Structure 1
Amino acid sequence: MLRYLLTEDDLGAVRFGISPLCELGLSLRAILDPSRFPLQVGWLRRTEAARERLDMTVLGALIDERLWTPDFLNPRPESPLTRLEDELAVLAATPREVFRADLVGVHGRVPDVFEGSSRRALARIVTELTRLWETCFEPYWPRMRAVLEADIGYRGRQVAQAGVAAMLNGLSSGIAYEQGVVSVALRDPSERLRAVGGEGLTLVPTMFTRRASAPVGDGLPMVMYSARGQGALWEAEPVANPAAVAAVLGEVRASLLTVLGEPASSTELAVRLDVTPSAVNQHLRVLRAAGLLTSSRSGRSVLYLRSDLGAALLEGATG
């Protein structure tokens, strides 16, 4: 059991953050033991081929059989807008003594693959985490982030309506708050008591914990908890298409036009509509060539959006 001691000032300063690096590190739990993460079976299925090309010798050494990960993979985010690039830069600069101590805290020793130069080991870790992100997270991140942000919005409303204490007690069955103490039930049998002492307690929603997680060591106060709304994350989205548009374009193209009132990538659209990525790309090309969609590049992804002509078509069919 981990217990954080909060003063009244600490309680008023509880904040939320989103960490892409935390999600990467914690996702190794689902990869190592899929049976414990049934809500992420859709993600595991869609990324299976990509994961076969990753160096699991490196990634596998970042987690143990208890599903613990070293604290350098769980940085405390400063806000819900944390960028992975910034977190990876900090990770690459981890001091040797911190790197080794965090690994020992998980494994009891430094895994063989990370012996020798810590700078070289960190470079390998950053390389593989970047590949994991680009192949298995980046295509789906807009949707995953939306779930995490929606959870934070929900918790904020709880605070406004019922207070911080009620919000803390509603986070997870593994988290309880009473009289200035936040108790976090962990798989670690040891008892730990940690005064927040003005450092601030950060709450981090994640896709990859079942109840609650916390740093292995005594770093900055942070609790990672399971985000709400994951159940429908990988389900196909029902779309009500105007019959006239569907008759002209077909159901899939009409659905694409309907949902693209907000920008989305082809991979995200494939998940939402339960259509293969290759088929989605073919339909998007046709709609774009007809002037019904626009496209723009955002990082490594191409985002599609309904054009004025596409909006007019839908409006005319429903008007």
Structure 2
Amino acid sequence: MRSELAFSADDLARTRFAVSPMWEVVASYRLLASPAPHPLHQPWLEQVRPRVAAAGLRSGWLAALIPADGYLPDFLTPLPDDPAPTLAAELAAIRATPDGEVHADLDLLASTDPRVRTLRADPPTRLAQLADEIATYWDLALGPYWAKIRALLDADVFHRARQVAERGTGALFNSLHTTLRWDNNTLQLVRRQCALNRDQMGPGLVLVPSAFLDRVLTWSRPPQPPQLAYPARGAATLWEHRPVPHHAAIATVLGRSRARLLTELETPASTSDLAHRTGISAAGVSQHLTALRDAGIVSTHRVGRSVLYARTAVAESLLAGTG
């Protein structure tokens, strides 16, 4: 099946990119819930699945609203107002979804899950509960890795923008995915289960890269412009082990113990995990991590009764520079 999205000069002028936390929530949760193997994201899955299961999120609101395949309710991925909305901003948009839009999306979802029925009956209350669950999921599954994921998505947007500048918009569209083709001022989507066209849609197009998608997903809610989420470049390298070749250079600035802890945080870890792996006492690890956190080099993420520490974008830049 094929659908076509026509472009005028105004549509091309209003085509833009956005990095959306909620698109990553939806795509990653669908991946997490799938029984199929996913070698590309296996390191992430092995770390996150136990946390999500322990928190009871395998049978909550996200499970009810994100099927293994097919339609996803549009209210889960509100139109980004700027190039990089925060999760808080997108959750506020979800909570404010009008009842009529919720009902229309649930009609398309056609689910018999009891939670879906309660959402239809009382959208404001249930959307607030959904937003709270998404925030919990974020803390467990995406927040500790966001600096790394965000760097990948930003790099994709930078590459695409340069591609437009050097080769034009047609080359951009033709390179996004094998199911997309630019021809005669239209973007053709091959093997689509639902149509995407300009009828009643707003001008332009919002392009959203995703680290967790392996296919193109579309979003349409007249009169807003459509969204098109696509697999980001380089996702295959996201969880690769990246040794830091110049540990001594970082140690000169941070001290040997803090430099060691920073390199060990290639994957998020707790104080006890780091103490076990480095031989530093738990009290010493805690003291060093507090200093690194206060400097904006690591972030904290609560997982049940424990806390995970993760590198921030500042840390990733620091390590990349020394490498």
Q: TM-score range by the shorter chain?
A: 0.7 to 0.9
> Of residues 183, 199, 205 in structure 2, which corresponds to 1:201?
205
Counterpart for residue 115 of structure 2: 113
2:305 corresponds in structure 1 to none
- 1:241: which partner in 2? 246
Q: 2:219 aligns with which of 206, 215, 223?
A: 215
Code of the residue aligned with 2:266 in structure 1: it is: L
Correspondence 1:108-187 to 2 at 5 A: 108-109=110-111, 111-114=113-116, 115=118, 116-187=121-192
Residue 133 of structure 1 and its aligned partner are, at CA, apart by: 0.5
Residue 16, structure 1, aligned to residue 39, structure 2: no
Which residue of structure 2 aligns with residue 69 of structure 1? 72
**2: CA distance, partners of 1:185 / 1:251:** 54
Aligned to 2:89: 86
Q: Measure, in 2, the Cα distance between the counterparts of 1:228 and 1:34.
A: 24
CA–CA separation in structure 1 for the residues paired with 2:266 and 2:29: 25
Paired position in structure 2 for 1:262:
none
Deviation at 1:196, TM superposition (A): 8.1
User: Within 2, Cα distance between the matches of 1:245 and 1:157?
Assistant: 32
Paired residue secondary structure (1:35): coil
**Stretch of structure 1 that moved more, 120-129 or 72-81:** 72-81
Q: Is the alpha carbon distance of 1:228 and 1:271 closer, same or farther for their aligned partners in structure 2, counting shifts above 3 Å?
A: farther
Judging changes above 3 Å, is the alpha-carbon distance between structure 1 residues 294 and 22 closer, same or farther for their aligned structure 2 residues?
closer
- Give the distance between the partners of 1:14 and 1:294, measured in 2 at CA: 40
Gaps of 5+ in 2: 302-308
Partner-residue secondary structure (3-state), 2:78: coil
Letter in 2 for 1:41: Q
What letter corresponds to residue 67 of structure 2 in structure 1?
D
Q: Distance in 1 between matches of 2:208 and 2:154?
A: 10
Using the TM superposition, give the Cα deviation of residue 254 of structure 1 relative to its aligned residue in structure 2, in angstroms: 5.5
In the TM superposition, residue 141 of structure 1 has moved relative to its aligned partner by 0.5
Deviation string for 1:59-118 (max 9, x for gaps)? 111122424321011222233321110110110111112112112212x25632132322
Where 2:155 maps in the other structure, the secondary structure is helix
Task: State the 1:300 CA deviation.
Answer: 4.5
Cα separation, 2, equivalents of 1:241 and 1:194 = 53
Instruction: State the distance in 1 between where 2:249 and 2:68 align.
Output: 56
Percentage identity across aligned positions? 29
Per-residue CA deviation, residues 241-273 of structure 1 (Å, 9 max, x unaligned), is 367999xx999975556x6xxxxxx7x53369x
The one-letter amino acid paired with 2:115 is V
**How large is the Cα RMSD of the aligned pairs?**
3.7
TM-score, length basis structure 2: 0.77
Question: 1:160-198 deviations in whole A, cap 9, x for unaligned?
Answer: 11011101111111211111111223541x444325876
2:202/2:225 contact within 8 Å kept: no
- Identify the residue that residue 25 of structure 1 maps to in structure 2: 26
How much does 1:212 deviate? 0.6
State the alpha-carbon separation in 2 of the partners of residues 300 and 290 from structure 1. Answer: 13
Residue aligning to 2:229: 224
Is the 1:103–1:110 contact (alpha carbons within 8 Å) kept by the matching residues of 2? no
Q: Distance in 2 between matches of 1:269 and 1:29?
A: 24
Instruction: Note the C-alpha offset of 1:146.
Output: 0.5
Count of matched residue pairs: 293
Secondary structure in structure 1 of the residue aligned to 2:176: coil
* Cα distance in 1 between the residues matched to 2:103 and 2:247: 59
- For 1:204 and 1:142, the matched residues in 2 are separated by 17
Q: Identify the residue that residue 295 of structure 1 maps to in structure 2.
A: 293
State whether residues 75 and 87 of structure 1, in contact with CA within 8 Å, keep that contact through their aligned partners in structure 2: yes
